[in-house]
Amino acid sequence: MNDSKKTAGPERTGPGGGVEGKRHTVLNRAWETGPCPLGTNGTCCRACAMGPCRVVESGKGTKVGVCGATPDTIAARNVCRMIAVGVAAHSDHAREVTQALCAVARGEAPGLEIRDGEKLRRLAGTLGLADADKSLGELAAEVGARLLNEFGRQDGELVFAALAPAKRLERWRRLRAVPRGIDREVVETLHRTHMGVDQDTSSLVAQGTRTALADGWGGSMIAAEVQDVLFGTPYPVRSRVDLGVLKADQVNIVVHGHEPLLPEALVRAAREPELVARAGQMGASGINVVEMRCTADELLMHHGVPVAGHFLQQEFALTTGAVELMLVDIQCVMQGLVAMAACFHTHLVTTSEKARIKGVHHAEFSPATALDAARGLVKLAVDNFPRRRTVNIPAKAVDVVAGFGYESIGYVLGGRFRGSVRVLNENIINGWVRGVTAVVGCINPRAGAGKNHGVLVRELIANDVLVLVTGCAAIACAREGLLLPAAAATAGPGLREVCVALGIPPVLHCGSCVDNSRILKVAAQMVREGGLGEDLSDLPVVSCAPEWMSEKAVTIGQYFVGSGIPVGLGVYFPGVDSHKFTDHMLAGLERDYGAAWFYEPDPQAMARKVLERIDAKRRALGIEGQRERVLYDMEMRRRLDV
Ligand code: NFS
Ligand code: SF4
């Protein structure tokens, strides 16, 4: 790293100081702290007080912990714990939205409503609760209760596991991998990783996989389904992304976090005439609500609300001096925001009972008080407008088309009356589309700071791979203009033809991280549609998390692998010094699940590894030779150089 990297964050000083008088950002801290050389090998154990033990394999034999634990056991335990935390995070969010659905059914959530009754009826059908005579309220109560039961269930199978193709379900049953209850799997993983319990790498990883599946086909899927009922099933919408969505002449409210319940009420309150008039009295021309992080992906997806940025941009939003209020709830909220907010007039407010930050004002939110709470918070922001000092908003904001859920992918591909993935399957079979890749996960200052996504995705679309994006990866791609139909000009000739014919971008925004479960549903539908094998592991579909940082990303990767979809991981693989564990994750899982992880920090090389895997699947399906149909003409060649 060079000096310019060291000072990549804003170094202006001003009233309020900040950490040591500097406006430090995550980029400064990443440089100053440096990665822990001990942690990356995955073999640090602090599961008991005979340790902590750091064990490494040496040429002279395997070193072990005080209790005799091998590096493989320790690495497997550590990764399983990461998975359990990720499942807990996604699924606790799912529990909140399911409880909100129950509150709506009881008439106790004034800021929320059932926006998509059709989806609710379909969901009730999936759960075996369909009844045409029941009101939406009655159905919401029954669906809510049924889904809440999935968390505390002790035995049997999670209900959404049955949405997987029959072959996959059979395989899971054979491997005892079907999750029983969401909370149960998390607790069992924590139990097994206690000192002196499960000490076999494969056994630990098997439980880790079952736990991860309880997220992909459980918690995350529940969150995505219920959010559609409450906020409307997403269909393609246009919006704008990047810090340029902040407005110099308006009151700016940034909503940052993962729970879309309060923002929904906030967007409503910000449109109320009294509050808009109050903003006018303070000298502002309006109230601008923008989103940050997975809440952003949700609200972008459901309503087209503008997005101020990805994970790494949270502190930079405050450096504009134009944010009157930043609301934070759960997950991926940096504590560094406190020092940064103190440098400006920004009110930083926590809203979740589960996530308090020392020294930050707390305004607790619940669905029952959502609208009143939202009004109070908007007023707080409006009254803060006159306290602004220098404002410096970057001009950049990029157009995006977002909102490709399970239903809308079927809709854009299959038409209004016959939503289906038939067109996608046909184009994969005839070779115009080589395969599909989900690019997911975080932005990591140690691995490209958002740049790796663009490199990987450009390479993939240039090779006719349709890309689905979620979470911060989606925002990184949006910032590079890849989420627009015009980006098809940079795609390979086959994919370009398909995108132009359908009017879609070559990179489809599928929502937040819990919405990765939508990708599982699309993949399951591709199997059901026919022509591409009988299991998810037959599909030419791959997933990548090139800049992962969160434990949730490991969970997502493990449930993709457990579902038969290979996953490429960037940054580092957590277990490099534990050979048997690493071999099991990178190869051994293939035997059981038909997919494994692969590790590749370089995004160009990762693209090549994705293409190898896609081509291998095409060969196995007997469809590899069909790409000659695409004839390059001069115009296509010119466009390829874009
Ligand atoms: Ni996903 Fe959303 Fe972003 Fe990573 Fe964090 S915000 S849930 S974990 S950093 S993609
Ligand atoms: Fe060390 Fe074993 Fe205790 Fe881990 S469980 S800290 S390896 S003694």
Instruction: Give the pLDDT confidence of 146-163 residue by residue, as tens digits.
Output: 999 999 999 999 999 999
Per-residue buried b or exposed e for 135-156, using 16+ beta carbons within 10 Å of the residue's own CB: ebeebbbbbbebbbebbebeee
Look up the CATH number of the domain holding residue 323. Answer: 3.40.50.2030
* CA-294 nearest atom, ligand 1: 2
Asked, for residue 8, whether it belongs to a domain, the answer is no
- The residue nearest atom 9 of ligand 1, judged by CA position, is 442
User: How many other C-beta atoms are found inside a 10 Å radius of the C-beta of residue 320?
Assistant: 22
Backbone angles phi and psi of 348, in degrees to 5? -105, 130
CA–centroid distance, residue 132 to ligand 1 (Å): 39
In a domain, 392, yes or no: no
Average pLDDT, the chain: 89
Which pLDDT belongs to residue 31?
87
Give the model's pLDDT for residue 143. 98
Q: Which of 590, 455, 617 is nearest to 531 (CA)?
A: 617
The pTM assigned to this predicted structure is: 0.91
CA of 197 to the centre of ligand 1 (A): 31
With H, G, I as helix, E, B as strand and everything else as coil, classify residue 340.
helix
pLDDT confidence of 632, banded at 50, 70, 90?
A: very low
Residue 472 has which token pair?
Answer: 């911060």
- Ligand 2, CB cutoff 6 Å, lining residues: 45-48, 50-53, 65-67, 69, 74, 195
Residues 168 and 278 both lie in one domain: no
The percentage of the chain sitting over the pLDDT mark of 90, rounded to a whole number, equals 72
Is residue 618 lining ligand 1, measured as CB closer than 6 Å?
no
**How many domains is the chain partitioned into structurally?**
3
Among candidate residues 231, 266, 282, the one where a domain is terminated: 231
- State in Å: Cα 399 to ligand 2 middle: 52
Higher pLDDT, 17 or 238: 238
**Both 165 and 271 in a single domain?**
no
Residue 481 inside a domain? The answer is yes
In terms of domains, do 368 and 341 share one?
Answer: yes
Task: Give nearest CA residue, ligand 2 atom 2.
Answer: 67
Average pLDDT of the residues in 311-320? 94
- Are 215 and 288 members of one domain? no
Q: What is the pLDDT of residues 519-549, one digit of tens each?
A: 999 999 999 999 999 999 999 999 999 999 9
CA–centroid distance, residue 332 to ligand 2 (Å): 29
Asked whether residue 39 is assigned to any structural domain, the reply reads no
- For 611, residues 6+ apart whose C-beta sits below 8 A from its C-beta are 434, 460, 463, 465
Write the residue with the smallest CA distance to atom 8 of ligand 1. Answer: 550
Residues 270 and 321 in one domain: yes
Residue 60 domain-assigned?
no
What is the rounded CA–CA span in Å between residue 497 and residue 501?
Answer: 6
Do 254 and 163 have their domain in common? no
Q: Which of 164, 196, 231 is the last residue of a domain?
A: 231
Would residue 431 count as lying in a domain?
yes
Q: What tokens were used for 134?
A: 């029941």
Domain that holds residue 97: 71-231
The reported pLDDT for the residue numbered 304 is 79
DSSP code for 513:
S
pLDDT at position 391 is: 93
Tell whether 449 and 473 lie within a shared domain: yes
pLDDT of 289 strictly over 90:
yes
Q: pLDDT tens-digit profile of 7-60?
A: 333 333 333 333 334 678 999 999 888 888 777 788 899 999 999 998 876 666
Q: Which residue type is seen at 616?
A: A
Look at the block and give the residue holding tokens 């072990």: 64
Residue 413 sits in the same domain as residue 472: yes
pLDDT for position 300:
76
In this prediction, residue 154 carries a pLDDT of 96
* Ligand 2 midpoint to CA 313 (Å): 38
- Do 521 and 542 belong together in one domain? yes
Encoding tokens for residue 581?
A: 């564990």
Residue where a domain terminates, one of 360, 387, 414: 387
Q: Same domain, yes or no, for 214 and 266?
A: no
**Atom 7 of ligand 1, nearest CA residue:** 513
Query: CA 183 → CA 180, 525, 562, 590, 627, distances in Å?
Result: 9, 28, 19, 27, 46
Cβ of 294 closer than 6 Å to ligand 1, yes or no, is yes
pLDDT for the residue numbered 414: 62
- Ranked by mean pLDDT, the top range of 61-70, 123-132, 281-290, 408-417 is 281-290
Strand partners, 361: 349
Same domain, 128 and 186: yes
Residue 37 lies in a domain: no
Is there a single domain that holds both residue 262 and residue 374? Answer: yes
CA of 514 to the centre of ligand 1 (A): 10
Q: Is 394 a member of any domain?
A: no
Residue nearest to atom 7 of ligand 2 (CA): 65
Q: Please name the residue whose Cα sits nearest to atom 6 of ligand 1.
A: 293
pLDDT at 295 (0 to 100): 73
- Which CATH number goes with the domain that contains 135? 1.20.1270.30
pLDDT per residue over 458-501, tens digit each? Answer: 999 999 999 999 999 999 999 999 999 999 999 999 999 999 98
